[in-house]
Amino acid sequence: MDAMDKPDNKGKGLQAVILAGGKGTRLKPYTAEIPKPLVTVGEKPIIEILLSRMKRHGVDRVHIAVNHQAHLIMAVLDDGSKYGLDISYSHEPTPLSTVGPLKLIDSFDEHFLVANGDVLTDLDLRKLYDYHVNCGGPLTVAVHRRVNRVDYGVLEVDTNGLVTGFKEKPTYDLTVSMGIYVFSRSVLEHVPEGLFFGFDDLMLTLLERGEKINAFVFDGYWMDIGRPEDYEQANLDVQHRPGLIE
Distance CA(164)–CA(130), nearest Å, equals 48
Confidence tier at 163 by pLDDT (50, 70, 90): very high
Q: What is the mean pLDDT of residues 191-219?
A: 95
Q: What is the mean pLDDT of residues 57-78?
A: 92
Contact 164, 130 (CB under 8 A): no
Confidence tier at 2 by pLDDT (50, 70, 90): very low
Does 149 fall in a domain?
no
Residues 6+ apart with CB under 8 A from 47: 18, 20, 37, 38, 73, 77, 117, 118
Does 114 fall in a domain?
yes
Confidence tier at 92 by pLDDT (50, 70, 90): confident
Does 159 fall in a domain?
no
pLDDT value at 17 more than 80:
yes
| Among candidate residues 26, 30, 68, the one with its CA nearest the CA of residue 226 | 26
* DSSP-derived 3-state class of residue 86: strand
Q: Is the dihedral of CA 36, 96, 64, 192 positive or negative?
A: positive
**How high is the pLDDT of residue 28?**
72
pLDDT value at 1 more than 60:
no
Could you tell me the CATH number of the domain that includes residue 125?
A: 3.90.550.10
pLDDT value at 225 more than 90:
no
Q: What is the mean pLDDT of residues 49-67?
A: 95
Domain count, the chain: 1
The residues carrying an active-site annotation are 169
pLDDT higher at 43 or 142: 142
Does 100 fall in a domain?
yes
Q: Is the dihedral of CA 237, 65, 57, 77 positive or negative?
A: negative
Beta strands in 101-221 (DSSP E): 111-116, 119-121, 139-149, 153-157, 163-168, 171-184, 213-217
Does 194 fall in a domain?
yes
Arithmetic mean of pLDDT over the chain? 89
pLDDT tens readout for residues 76-91 = 999 999 999 999 999 8
Which residue range(s) make up the domain with 19? 3-144+174-245
**What are phi and psi for residue 5, nearest 5 degrees?**
-105, 15
Give the count of beta carbons closer than 10 Å to the beta carbon of residue 181: 26
**How high is the pLDDT of residue 43?**
87
**How high is the pLDDT of residue 79?**
95
* DSSP-derived 3-state class of residue 146: strand
Confidence tier at 6 by pLDDT (50, 70, 90): very low
Q: What is the mean pLDDT of residues 98-112?
A: 92
Residues 6+ apart with CB under 8 A from 98: 19, 116, 198, 199
* DSSP-derived 3-state class of residue 99: coil
- Share above pLDDT 90 across residues of the chain, in percent, rounded to a whole number: 67
Rounded to two decimals, what is the model's pTM? 0.88
Does 111 fall in a domain?
yes
